[in-house]
Amino acid sequence: MNYILQYLLLLFLVACAVAVARTRDLLAAVIIFAAYSLIMAVLWQLLAAPDIAITEAALGAGVTTLLLVAAISKTRRQE
């Protein structure tokens, strides 16, 4: 019963991972990847690893997204 949230988040995680690979628009892929990282951070917290959760939220959802958006602004948006 307590694992419903974890299974839901894992479902979203798989959906996000598939969507990142299938999206043609690179900016949309970056945003979905940020959502993937955010779900992953919540999952780390639920797995009792707050240290990794902080790092994942700051690096995965923050810095990586900003760096990829900067890279897209230097190149093309479509794949």
Beta bridge partners of 78: 25
66 belongs to the binding site for other proteins (CB under 8 A): yes
* Rounded Cα gap, residues 78 and 72, in angstroms: 9
Please, what is the minimum distance in Å from the beta carbon of residue 59 to other proteins? 5
26 belongs to the binding site for other proteins (CB under 8 A): no
- Can you say whether residue 40 is alpha, beta or left, with left for phi > 0 and alpha for psi between -120 and 50 degrees? alpha
Nearer to other proteins, 8 or 50 (CB): 50
Amino acid identity, residue 77? R
At 77 the three-state DSSP class reads: coil
Name the segment binding other proteins (CB under 8 A); options: 1-9, 11-19, 30-38, 58-66: 58-66
Nearer to other proteins, 39 or 56 (CB): 56
